[in-house]
A and B are shown apart, each in its own frame.
Chain A
């Protein structure tokens, strides 16, 4: 069950991790690096261009116990949203 694009876009000031331009495993390394600074319950947005990230960030969230909220693609960038659960 994932949020709609409108819902994702309406999330107020998530922590943004820019992993655009880097290839696997760059985006999950970046996500791992930044998640520590995100308060539990807050949303983190990962920006990426590697299409594998569409599968990888949800898989990373499942393993790490965070809630994957959904994603959308816009202007050549993939936007992925997750809520830090613990």
Chain B
């Protein structure tokens, strides 16, 4: 058994698909997988709108950032041809007809397979995202934790 580490920096829907497909593939090949979510990638871990408690201790700018950031993995935009979300909707339509898993489904499968997901606490602070706004069952850490995991890994990706 070997180990894979993936840094998820991007908040683009298509890049998240790639990250989660690799993570799921590696887990299905009996590898240990750690995904480290930082900056825009954190949006993928957000709970759907409505499930989020109101964090009263955010500054004005933090509130602005967290309000602008997509509220759920399925609300993320494409890195190209997004057209304010229309491109993503069209792509999801094609994905459905081709039986391609959505990011939400890939994330669920990754959890079932024991993929470890870590949220970067520094970027959570910068973007004004509280732990109560992220999905359950994830860990919280910083760069040293990621580097420690990467040291044991034989594939390391920055997506």
Contacts and interface: CB of A to CB of B under 8 A. Distances in A.
A48 to B, nearest CB: 11
Given A29-B109, A63-B30, A23 B98 contact: yes
Contacts of B30: 63-64
Contacts, number: 31
Given A25-B21, A25-B24, A64 B29 contact: yes
B67 interface: no
A3 interface: no
Contacts of A28: 25, 28-29
Contact of B28 (A21, A22, A60): A60
Q: Give the interface size bracket for A toward B.
A: 10 to 19
Task: List 6 tightest A-B contacts by C-beta distance, closest first.
Answer: A32-B28, A63-B29, A25-B25, A23-B100, A28-B28, A22-B99
Interface of A: 21-26, 28-29, 31-32, 60, 63-64
Question: Is the contact region of chain A dominated by helix, strand, or loop, or is it mixed?
Answer: helix
Contacts of B98: 23
Instruction: Give the interface centre of A22, A24, A29 by most chain B CB atoms within 10 Å.
Output: A29
A66 to B, nearest CB: 11
13 contacts: A23-B98, A23-B101, A24-B21, A24-B25, A25-B24, A25-B28, A25-B101, A26-B99, A28-B28, A31-B28, A60-B29, A63-B30, A64-B29
